[in-house]
Amino acid sequence: MPALPLTQEQLDDAARLKQLFAIWQRAQRDAGLPSSQEAISEQLGFNQSSLSQYLNGRIPLNIDAATKFANLIGKPVIEFSATLAGQIGRYAGPAEPVDSSAMLRRASPVSLDDPDPSGLISVPMVTMRVEAGVPGFEADLEFEDGGVIQIPREAVESHEWAPQCLLAVKVRGLSMIPVFADGDTIVLNVADRKLVSGEVYAVNCEGKPAVKQMVFERHQWYMRSFNPAFDPKPFRTPDSDVIGKVVYQPGRVVSGRMK
């Protein structure tokens, strides 16, 4: 199915980013620092084609891509996309109770320097959308079960997770039982996308989000299911198809050893 054309707002975001990017790239070049598209693509974590398409408004920016560009050029996301900056702000912390009549949600930023007396951090529940061959993801806030889950602040601090990079999603399907059942809630750290053999990740699997244990064997990455009825599948897509690492399941921190 062909991709939908970008809205004028998305095109304007791309144009602003392209202008800021050009200024940053010129400064890099003048300082004798890496400035080629190849070097920049490697820093961003997606290929040169995707870099060009983002800057030229061929594919829409998303939270993941916008955050990477902002970190690269040293500018806040709001300087090129107010909409994405607002979405990031909504994911940044605990939400107030939902007004059921309006189904609206407001969020306040999380600060580890201003601890919640409950010792908990609220993580927003989202539904993720991905497209085959397109880096990053889009996330819609969910209101089921109150729209957030709470995890111990101690877990966040001890593992040095950035609260604004944590998103909660529902597991779908039977491939990860008995560890993750259909409908279970898990927390992703979308800032942690570097593959480590044995750890569990959410990945873009041919245009669908999937939760799999990633295993490196015989010079190849494989997506492994915990359900023995499902065979491992080679993971040949680029690192940009990694959405984030699964770090928490209510009641326990998740690791390759399933602590």
Q: What is the CATH number of the domain that holds 65?
A: 1.10.260.40
Same-domain status, 70 and 120: no
- Looking at the structure of the chain, the number of domains it has is 2
Count of CB atoms within 10 A of residue 20's CB?
17
The predicted structure's pLDDT at residue 113: 44
Q: How many helices (H) and strands (E) does the chain have?
A: 6, 12
Residue 93 lies in a domain: no
Distance in angstroms (rounded) separating the CA atoms of residues 168 and 163: 11
Same-domain status, 77 and 135: no
pLDDT tens digit string along 35-48? 888 888 888 877 88
Residue 259 lies in a domain: no
Whether 139 and 244 have beta carbons less than 8 Å apart is answered as no
Same-domain status, 127 and 249: yes
Question: How much is the average pLDDT of 186-193?
Answer: 90
Residue 163: which domain range? 106-253
Residue 174 lies in a domain: yes
Residue 2 lies in a domain: no
> Which long-range contacts link 177-185 to residues 24+ away (Cβ below 8 Å)?
177/226, 177/227, 178/226, 178/227, 179/226, 179/258, 180/211, 180/226, 180/249, 184/249, 185/125, 185/149, 185/249, 185/250
Burial (CB < 10 A; 0-12, 13-18, 19+), residue 119, is exposed
Same-domain status, 124 and 151: yes
Residue 101 lies in a domain: no
Same-domain status, 140 and 18: no
Whether 201 and 211 have beta carbons less than 8 Å apart is answered as yes
DSSP-derived pairing of the beta strands 233-234 and 242-249: unpaired
Residue 99 lies in a domain: no
pLDDT tens digit string along 193-229? 888 889 999 998 878 888 999 988 888 889 999 998 9
Distance in angstroms (rounded) separating the CA atoms of residues 25 and 73: 8
Same-domain status, 75 and 133: no
- Residue that is last in its domain, among 22, 57, 88: 88
> Which long-range contacts link 37-42 to residues 24+ away (Cβ below 8 Å)?
40/72
Same-domain status, 133 and 215: yes
Same-domain status, 46 and 119: no
Q: What is the dihedral of CA 201, 179, 150, 67, to 10 degrees?
A: 0
188 has pLDDT over 90: yes
Same-domain status, 79 and 131: no
Provide the token pair at 87: 């979405």
The model carries a pTM of 0.55
Residue 97 lies in a domain: no
Same-domain status, 128 and 26: no
Give the chain's mean pLDDT. 79
Residue 159 lies in a domain: yes
pLDDT tens digit string along 246-256? 999 988 888 75
- Residue that is last in its domain, among 62, 88, 114: 88
Distance in angstroms (rounded) separating the CA atoms of residues 249 and 246: 8
The predicted structure's pLDDT at residue 105: 28
